[in-house]
């Protein structure tokens, strides 16, 4: 294969470590190495605390070292309809493990299990997303930052369904306008990585059992405004990569020169083995100054 063809879509390759070194040498040194963890679902059962600690240790032993972690949400096991003591205990456990077992900066987005949905607690100040935002010291559930010449846009993809009882994946008008302005005001030569909990685009929803003549895709499994977001990205070719989780399955889709990676869960099948054929793991990504990247999924 000609080198030009091999490098054109370098982000779409799963590369062995030796090949990673070889390709990196041919296109320059990465400006950043990041890790993407998602769907930790931490609680004090299933041996989850020890397994999560093992994941963090494994991640921190990567060579070259990881510069920071992107946590894609579902941080604690579940806040849905739980009592406040259970929620407190899950977050105390998470924060204690991060404090004792991790020394790498972490940037967060919220998952659907990081939101307090109980209808009986709507009057409390920490109801909805506020409890988790306070725990993570986040002012808003969506934001952006820049590092080493890359821009990172963190989205809030979990919103109430039309009947206000459960959730669907979308941005909403206010956040979409914010995203439009973020991309408009970003230098065209600055590569952009987008992080969401719910996938913007994924093929994992096609993996269903006992299909007769059609697939059913629920609004909580993938963004319902996918077309609108993709049309926006098409106007901004510097959007290179979108990371997500939520499905606990690993896949990679490229559309309009944007690579959409849904990584597997740190918890696998909620701490009970593999989720279908995807083992518990995390993503490692090397980002280059020109917008190219190398990525792989690591089973810890």
> In the prediction, which pLDDT does 10 show?
41
Q: What is the DSSP code (8-state) at residue 259?
A: E
Report pLDDT digits (tens) over 225-273: 999 999 999 999 999 999 999 999 999 999 999 999 999 999 999 999 9
Degrees (nearest 5) of the Cα angle 242, 171, 87? 90
The fraction of the chain above a pLDDT of 90, given in percent, is 78
> In the prediction, which pLDDT does 3 show?
36
Handedness of CA 246, 249, 252, 255 (dihedral sign): negative
Report pLDDT digits (tens) over 269-280: 999 999 999 999
> In the prediction, which pLDDT does 162 show?
80
More confident residue, 214 or 196: 196
- Which range scores top for mean pLDDT: 1-10, 119-128, 291-300? 291-300
- Give yes or no for residue 2 having a pLDDT over 70: no
At residue 8 the predicted structure's pLDDT band, cuts being 50, 70 and 90, is: very low
- Give yes or no for residue 102 having a pLDDT over 60: yes
Q: What is the chain's Cα-based Rg?
A: 19
Q: What is the DSSP code (8-state) at residue 221?
A: T
Residue ranges with strand state E in the chain: 32-37, 68-71, 106-108, 143-147, 150-154, 158-160, 167-169, 192-195, 239-244, 251-255, 258-262, 281-287, 293-299
The fraction of the chain above a pLDDT of 70, given in percent, is 90
Q: Taking all residues of the chain, what is their mean pLDDT, rounded to a whole number?
A: 90
> In the prediction, which pLDDT does 214 show?
85
Nearest CA among 87, 91, 35 for reference residue 66: 35
SS3 237: coil
At residue 6 the predicted structure's pLDDT band, cuts being 50, 70 and 90, is: very low
Q: What is the average pLDDT across 27-50?
A: 96
- Give yes or no for residue 122 having a pLDDT over 80: no
Report pLDDT digits (tens) over 221-232: 999 999 999 999
Handedness of CA 240, 30, 294, 76 (dihedral sign): negative
- Give yes or no for residue 1 having a pLDDT over 60: no
Report pLDDT digits (tens) over 71-93: 999 999 999 888 899 999 999 99
Q: Which fold has domain 3-206+213-299?
A: Purple Acid Phosphatase; chain A, domain 2 (3.60.21)
In DSSP terms, 237 is beta-bridged to: none
């Amino acid at each position: 294969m000609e080198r030009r063809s091999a490098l054109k879509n370098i982000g779409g390759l799963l590369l062995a470590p030796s090949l990673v070194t070889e390709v990196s040498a041919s296109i320059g040194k990465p400006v950043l190495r990041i890790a993407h963890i998602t769907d930790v679902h931490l609680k004090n059962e299933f041996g989850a605390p020890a397994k999560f600690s093992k994941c963090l240790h494994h991640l921190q032993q990567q060579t070259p070292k990881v510069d920071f972690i992107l946590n894609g949400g579902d941080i604690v096991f579940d806040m849905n309809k739980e009592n406040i003591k259970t929620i407190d205990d899950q977050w105390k456990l998470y924060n204690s493990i991060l404090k004792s077992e991790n020394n790498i900066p972490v940037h967060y987005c919220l998952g659907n299990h990081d939101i307090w949905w109980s209808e009986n607690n709507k009057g409390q100040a920490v109801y909805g997303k506020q409890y988790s935002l306070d725990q993570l010291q986040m002012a808003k559930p969506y934001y952006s930052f820049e590092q080493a010449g890359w821009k990172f846009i963190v989205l809030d993809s979990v919103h109430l369904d039309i009947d206000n009882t459960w959730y669907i994946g979308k941005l909403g008008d206010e956040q979409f306008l914010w995203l439009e302005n973020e991309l408009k005001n970003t230098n065209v030569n600055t590569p952009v990585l987008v992080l969401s909990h719910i996938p913007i685009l994924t093929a994992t929803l096609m993996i269903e059992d006992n299909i007769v003549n059609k697939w059913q895709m629920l609004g909580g499994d993938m963004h319902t405004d996918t077309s609108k977001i993709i049309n926006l990205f098409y106007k901004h070719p510097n959007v290179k990569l979108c990371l997500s989780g939520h499905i606990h399955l690993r896949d990679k889709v490229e559309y309009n020169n944007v690579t959409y990676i849904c990584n597997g869960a740190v918890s696998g099948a909620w701490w009970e083995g593999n989720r279908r054929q995807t083992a518990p793991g995390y993503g490692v990504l090397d980002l280059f100054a020109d917008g190219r990247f190398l990525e792989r999924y690591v089973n810890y």
